[in-house]
Structure formats: structure tokens, C-alpha cells
Structure 1
Amino acid sequence: MANERILVIEDEEAIRELVVLALESAGYHTVMSAANGEDGLKLAQVHLPDLVILDLMLPGIDGLDVCRQLKNNELTKAIPVIILSAKSDESDVVLGLELGAADYVTKPFSRKILVARVRAQLRQLSEQEDSSEKRHNGLVINDELHSAKLNGENLELTYSEFAIMKLFAAHPGRVFTRNQIINRVKGDGYPVTERAIDVQIVNLRRKLGEWGANIDTVRGVGYRLKSGI
């Protein structure tokens, strides 16, 4: 839980602080916040949080447009969004969900319910990551057997290379920064440099041969496995 990053986009200071405090009290140590849509979008693109909590009635760019932009951006489209809004009409809820939001919580809200919804979304991501077998266009990653095969042939991967490939395969299309890869693979605070991740990606691509082209470098951000393969 401590490694997960959450971004709160809410213009009302009292509510923003309440949400941040509720999340921190629940054990989420990296909680960022923004008071408007423009700043929220910038933070999302730079820090690539694991989850976004989004108000709809924001100054400038409204929440629906923020959600739309997040879901139309290759860097951020895989990030789950929980809408937190006083707009409780069925049409507002439906529109938010149709734009790609994962959940919709109406104000006034219960701190416990909001935290439970956050945990549910993050648990779903974790379960996708932890599922025993993942398949992508001839690549098979089996966590239970700790095996990796490409077109039926065994791949000789190191522990770290296997963990990176498992992470990518669980979240195709999602961009991970080098620091996020270190935290997910080694744990928070592990003494590994970001340059070491670059070296491991090079080694992975070499071992994967032509298939290695499916691991994208997102310049200035990190790496991802292409979606739709």
C-alpha cells in the first residue's frame, strides 16, 4: 500500500484536505493534490499516479473534461479515476462512467466508504498484476511456475527481468516510470539506480528478439508494454 500514488483534484480546500487526510490515515503515504483541472492534468502526466480522485465542478477545465483528457492520453488512460462530486443526477453518473471513470462517489460522502472504494480499485489492479498467468501475442508469463515462454520456447530471465516483464504484462498500455518499476519490483527504498532499469530493459529486449519491440520507451517518462498485442 505504501508505494501507491494517489492524486486528488478538488477545488474546495476543506474537502481536498479532508480527502488527503482520510487517505493518509488509511496508510497511503504518497497523496498529491491539485485545486484545478489544469494543475491536476500536469501532475497526472508527470507523476503517473496509481489512482485519481476527481471533482467535477472545477474552475477552468471541468472534471468531465479532465477525465476525458486523462482517458485520451496514452500516458494516463490506464489510470483508474474515481469521480467525487455533488452532482448526483443519474445522467451525471452515467456520463462520468461512459467517459471512462471507474467509480462515482457523491457528496456528502463517508470517509470510510471513499477509502473502501479506493482500496477496491487498487486491489483490482493488484489482482491483475498477481494473476498467475498472462498471455500477450506468443508471450506467456506464469508467476506460479516462475516461467516465461515466447512462442513455446523458454526464456532465461533473471529474477528482476521476470518481475519487470510480469509487471508490464499485467498492465499493457500503462506507462511506468523507472522509479515506479524499482518500487514495484524491489520495494520502496531499494538501492537501485534508474540507470539499472535501463540496462535491464536493454537485456530484456535482447532476450525477446524481435518481440522486444513491444516494450516501448516513452521519452522522458519510462517504459510500457504496447496494448492490443
Structure 2
Amino acid sequence: MAKTTVLIVEDDRSLAEVIMYNLQREGYEVLVAHDGQDCLTQARAKQPDVIVLDLMLPVLDGLEACRQLRADATTRTTRILMLTAKAEESDQLIGFGVGADDYVTKPFSVKILLERVKSLCRRDADSQAVPVIASQGVTIDPVRHRVTVDESVVNLTRSEFRLLECMLRQPGRVFTRSELIDVALGDDALVFERTIDVHVRSLRKKLDTHADVVQTVRGFGYRFRHPSDSR
């Protein structure tokens, strides 16, 4: 079985070496880039399973690198763990808003970082063939990781995909933000409940004319509109 590949993008070379050493000890194949542009080059060419992406980088910063990774068909669904010295909630929300899957702030324990990488890998480890699901013009193919709206393909991040799939499987059911965090980001992701609001806004924007199928239930959370509900 092929090893899981992790791309470390960190301009602090000594820190990159520490992370690389520990990941290799855990059995990962490790790639290293020291700036945002090299990150894009290696990610497109070698398609790693997970990218550990520092926010403050030379040439191209981590946020812009993340945006470009999500805009590229070859890297759109790659897991991204954002790594930064910034601990403000606004920075975390911006990171999730451009497509990061998880977030770790410096200084950090290497053990914690390894657990977060493992968590990202586990999110897809149990994927299996399941039927295509559809409602009100929105269709999800879980196996091909493909979403269409009125037969036009919509490109979602992995977290957005999981969020939509969860709600679409049970239209009409209200999910709390905590439940959606567990589904879309993992039950061990240390995030704010407002993070889900960021994902929902992005998801609605991508659904375009069908944005209203994702409904806000004030004081509770979100749901996918039931087919029997009027528009």
C-alpha cells in the first residue's frame, strides 16, 4: 500500500526539519517547500494527501496559496492544515474561509500536530461506494466526490462537500453547528462554532441560484430544505 504523502510548507527550515523527522517516523512520505510558490508547484506535480501550510511565507503567503490550491482541479480536494503563529479568531475564520480543513497555532506540540494530520487522513479512510443522492436540483456523487446543480458541476472544498452531503441525506432535519462541525471538520477539530457559518456562506455562494436550499434555523443551526417546503 502506498504511503500517505504530506507536503510541509514552512520557511523556518529548522522547524520544517523537526516536522519532517516526526512525520517520517510515523511512516509518512514527506515533501518540503519553503515558500508559497514552491508549495503550488509541488502540490500540482506530486498531489500530496495532506498539506501542512504555514500562513506567513515568502513569495506567496499561505492564504493566497490556499486560495490557489482550492481553485486548481488537481489540488481542490487536498487536505490543508494551516499552521501559523497568529491565534486570533478572525485569522482562523479567514483560513477556513479560503478552504483550510484544520488549523494549528504556534507554538505547538509535535504530538498535537501529528494527531491533527492523522485526523485529516482518517476523514477519508472509511469512504466506500454509496448511492448518488439528489434533491431539488442538487446532486451529490460521494464516490466521485462530485456535486452538480441542474447538471452543472460545482467545485466544493472537502469540508463544504461533507457539510452539504450531511444535510442533503436528511432534508428537513435541523443540524446544530456543533453537529456540523463534527461532520465537516471532525470531532477533534478545535474550532469555533462560527466557523460553520463561514462554510455555509461559501457553500451558498457556490450553489448560486439554489443557495436557498440551505436554510438557517435561527437559534438552532442549518438544514437542507425539505422537498415539500415551498420556495
In 1, the alpha carbon distance for the partners of 2:41 and 2:144 equals: 22
In 2, the alpha carbon distance for the partners of 1:22 and 1:34 equals: 16
- What corresponds to 1:32 in structure 2? 31
Give runs of aligned pairs for residues 46-85 of structure 1, distance below 5 A.
Answer: 46-85=45-84
Q: 2:3, 2:27 within 8 Å by CA — same for their partners in 1?
A: no
In 2, the alpha carbon distance for the partners of 1:88 and 1:7 equals: 23
In 2, the alpha carbon distance for the partners of 1:170 and 1:52 equals: 22
- What corresponds to 1:134 in structure 2? 130
In 2, the alpha carbon distance for the partners of 1:15 and 1:136 equals: 43
> In structure 2, what residue type is equivalent to 1:121?
L
In structure 2, runs of 5+ residues without a counterpart are 135-140, 147-152, 154-164, 166-231
> In structure 1, what residue type is equivalent to 2:132?
H
Shift of 1:89: 0.9
> In structure 2, what residue type is equivalent to 1:124?
R
Give runs of aligned pairs for residues 70-219 of structure 1, distance below 5 A.
Answer: 70-128=69-127, 131=128, 133-136=129-132, 170-172=143-145
Taking only aligned residues, the RMSD between alpha carbons, in angstroms, comes to 2.3
- Would you identify which runs of 4 or more consecutive aligned residues in structure 1 move more than 6 Å? none
Count of residues in correspondence between the two structures: 142
Q: 2:7, 2:48 within 8 Å by CA — same for their partners in 1?
A: yes
> In structure 2, what residue type is equivalent to 1:70?
L
In 2, the alpha carbon distance for the partners of 1:171 and 1:11 equals: 35
Shift of 1:4: 1.0
In 2, the alpha carbon distance for the partners of 1:69 and 1:53 equals: 15
In 2, the alpha carbon distance for the partners of 1:2 and 1:21 equals: 19
Q: 1:2, 1:27 within 8 Å by CA — same for their partners in 2?
A: no
Q: 1:9, 1:35 within 8 Å by CA — same for their partners in 2?
A: yes
In 1, the alpha carbon distance for the partners of 2:38 and 2:81 equals: 17
In 1, the alpha carbon distance for the partners of 2:143 and 2:30 equals: 24
In structure 1, runs of 5+ residues without a counterpart are 139-167, 174-213, 215-227
Shift of 1:171: 4.7
Query: Secondary structure of 1:69's match?
Result: helix
Q: Give the TM-score normalised by structure 2.
A: 0.57
- What corresponds to 1:185 in structure 2? none
> In structure 1, what residue type is equivalent to 2:18?
L
Q: 1:37, 1:66 within 8 Å by CA — same for their partners in 2?
A: yes
Deviations 1:179-201 (A, max 9, x none): xxxxxxxxxxxxxxxxxxxxxxx
Deviations 1:8-62 (A, max 9, x none): 111010111111111111121x100000011110000001111100000001110
- What corresponds to 2:8 in structure 1? 8
Bigger Rg over Cα: 1
In 2, the alpha carbon distance for the partners of 1:81 and 1:135 equals: 27
Shift of 1:98: 1.1
Query: Secondary structure of 2:125's match?
Result: helix
- Quick one: structure 1 residues 106 and 134, their matched pair in 2 at CA, closer, same or farther if it must change by over 3 Å? same
Q: Give the TM-score normalised by structure 1.
A: 0.58
